[in-house]
Amino acid sequence: MITEERVLDFIRSFGVDRGSEALHMIEKEAVRDDVPIIRKETGELLRILLQIKKPERILEVGAAIGFSSVFMGENTGKNTHITTIENYPPRIERAKANIALAGMEDKITLIAGDAAEVLKGLSGSWDFIFMDAAKGQYIHFMPEVMRLLAPGGILVSDNVLHNRMREYLYALTHDEAIDTVILETGDGMAISVRKED
């Protein structure tokens, strides 16, 4: 029998390091300060999805210290713009500094504030949305996220294999406007595609 840990070790043994020096510095900071960031296998799947979709507008809910924003910035074209939201003041300042460290101030816009309120104030549509915030809040963000997700757009929800996510996963899988698959990658990922109008 192959254990989950052995499977992960096997998969990770094929990993190729593609990140910049700035991204590695942000990762080291996260590890040092015990700030949760996306796992390597989550990042690899995210990177492939970004290559497939080639989004021009990315919305991230939950910047933390900016690791995933910078990661997505490094794995998208020069015409892609990322808007990210963070509510925790110490992390907001670190995220700003890390976005500057990566030289991505023109590519990444950080909005400070409660995502529930910030999302209501956003207009237009995004072709790629990455949900990586407080797990218990996803279900409350969902109506605004669905309003902002463009037809054909991809919604990636991270860390979904937790009891607090049951209601959110039910809502995703039973929403007729989207098709959703739930994967075991990392702490669980749900990938949803909004159907074309």
Report whether pLDDT(65) > 70.
Answer: yes
What's the CA gap between 187 and 169, in Å, rounded?
Answer: 14
Report whether pLDDT(74) > 90.
Answer: yes
Determine contact, residues 106/80, Cβ cutoff 8 Å.
no
For 111, phi then psi, to 5°, come to -105, 120
- The pLDDT, as a whole number, for residue 9 is 77
Report whether pLDDT(19) > 90.
Answer: no
Checking DSSP bridges between strand 189-194 and strand 149-158, what pairing results, if any? antiparallel
User: Where does the pLDDT of residue 1 fall: very low under 50, low under 70, confident under 90, or very high at 90 and above?
Assistant: very low
- The pLDDT, as a whole number, for residue 186 is 86
User: Where does the pLDDT of residue 3 fall: very low under 50, low under 70, confident under 90, or very high at 90 and above?
Assistant: low
DSSP E strands in 19-174: the ranges are 57-61, 81-86, 108-112, 126-131, 149-158
User: Where does the pLDDT of residue 70 fall: very low under 50, low under 70, confident under 90, or very high at 90 and above?
Assistant: very high
- The pLDDT, as a whole number, for residue 163 is 86
Higher pLDDT, 118 or 10: 118
Report whether pLDDT(184) > 80.
Answer: yes
CA 3 from chain centre, in angstroms, equals 27
For 13, phi then psi, to 5°, come to -65, -15
Question: For tokens 């989550």, what's the residue?
Answer: 42
In terms of Cα–Cα distance, which of 190, 146, 193, 195 is closest to 165? 190
| Arithmetic mean of pLDDT over the chain | 93
Question: For tokens 């309120």, what's the residue?
Answer: 117
Handedness of CA 141, 147, 149, 155 (dihedral sign): positive
Higher pLDDT, 197 or 113: 113
User: Where does the pLDDT of residue 2 fall: very low under 50, low under 70, confident under 90, or very high at 90 and above?
Assistant: low
Determine contact, residues 100/70, Cβ cutoff 8 Å.
no
In terms of Cα–Cα distance, which of 178, 98, 165 is closest to 132? 165
User: pLDDT tens digits, residue range 90-117?
Assistant: 999 999 999 999 999 999 999 999 999 9
